[in-house]
Amino acid sequence: MLRTGWIIAGLLALAPLGAAFADEPETPIMTSAATASPEWTGNWTRMELAGKDGALGPLPAAAKLLFEVDRNLYVSLSVGCNRIGTQIVPGEGNTVTFAPGMATEMACPGEIGEAEQKLTDAIGKAAAYELRGTDVVFLDSAGKPLMLIGR
């Protein structure tokens, strides 16, 4: 009987601590399930880039897309000329940027060169993303689409 009293007293003493934890602000770990986030890793096999009119459009037919993300979010990408290495840097909510990267420096004429310029502009201006089904659309700071990747 005496032991039961001590257990009840101990539980009553700890009860206020539970209330204190309930008032703590949510941490990113607590809220991550509520915010949909893409599974970045793996090969992305489809890409669209924003044109001068701002609309997303497919890569040129001659493009050879590479967009591969490893488990540390390092990205190796190309549209068929230079290879670019960078890293995806997720932020709070749907914010995302790409770390400063490195690229080979071959001259890329014609439509492949134009696509590569759009790609490098997109990774330099990315500020957020939105999900469209299983596709990820990277957005600039004004919310305009820059690039779409899909599987």
105: Cβ–Cβ under 8 A, 6 or more apart, which residues? 82
pLDDT of 12: 44
Give the pair of three-digit tokens for residue 44. Answer: 């992305």
Low-confidence ranges of the chain (pLDDT < 70): 1-36
CA-based nearest residue to 111, from 76, 148, 59, 47 = 59
pLDDT of 67: 98
Domain containing 128 equals 42-150
Any domain includes 145:
yes
pLDDT of 6: 43
CA-based nearest residue to 87, from 2, 96, 95, 45 = 96
pLDDT digits (tens, 9 = 90+) for 60-99: 999 999 999 999 999 999 999 999 999 999 999 999 999 9
pLDDT of 3: 52
Count of the separate structural domains present in the chain = 2
pLDDT of 35: 53
For the question of whether the overall pTM of this predicted structure is more than 0.85, the answer is no
Output the domain CATH number for residue 91.
Answer: 2.40.128.270
Instruction: Give the 3-state secondary structure of residue 119.
Output: helix
For residues 85 and 76, is the Cβ–Cβ distance under 8 A?
Answer: yes
Any domain includes 17:
yes
Does one domain contain both 82 and 111?
yes
